[in-house]
Amino acid sequence: MKVKRIVANIETADPGVVARFYADVLGLDLLMDHGWIATYGNDDTMPLQVSFASEGGSGTPVPGLSVEVDDVEAAYQAVLAGKYPVEYGPADEPWGVRRFFVRDPAGTLVNIVMHTQ
C-alpha cells in the first residue's frame, strides 16, 4: 500500500463562503465541488489542496484528514490488524471512490480513500 495524497478537510456550515477566500485571496483552483464539499488546490508537481465541508458525504461526519491510497483494501486490512477503530465503511460511494473512516491514535477522524473511476 502506497499513500498517494493527503488532503486536509476543514468543517464549516457553508463550504462555499470559506472556500471562496482561498480562491479569491490565494488563487487556488476549484478542483471538486459536490455541494457539501468543495476542494481547492492546484495541479503543480506537488499538489496543494484544502477542502471545506458541512458533512463527510453519505451522512458521515467531516474527517480531519483524507488520505488517498492506491489500495484501500490493503489499508483496511492494516487498520484491522492494528486494532484501530473503524467508524465507517469500507463503502463504495456514488462519486467514484471506495473509502473507510478510522480514528488515529490522537482521535482524529481519517478518511482513507481510493478513486475507483
- Say if domain 3-115 classifies as CATH 3.30.10.20: no
The residue-averaged pLDDT of 64-70 equals 92
Query: What are the tens digits of pLDDT across the range 79-114?
Result: 999 999 999 999 999 999 999 999 998 889 999 999
**Confidence label for 45 from pLDDT (cuts 50, 70 and 90):** low
55 has pLDDT over 90: yes
Question: 74 vs 31, 49, 52, 77, 102, CA distance in Å?
Answer: 27, 25, 28, 5, 14
The rounded Cα 27 to chain-centroid distance in angstroms is 21
How far is Cα 50 from Cα 78, in angstroms, rounded to an integer?
Answer: 26
The residue-averaged pLDDT of 51-68 equals 95
**Kind of pairing, strands 65-69 and 109-115?**
parallel
64 has pLDDT over 80: yes
Q: What is the mean pLDDT of the chain?
A: 90
pTM of the prediction?
Answer: 0.79
Of the candidates 11, 50, 46, the residue with the CA atom closest to the CA atom of residue 29: 50
71 has pLDDT over 70: yes
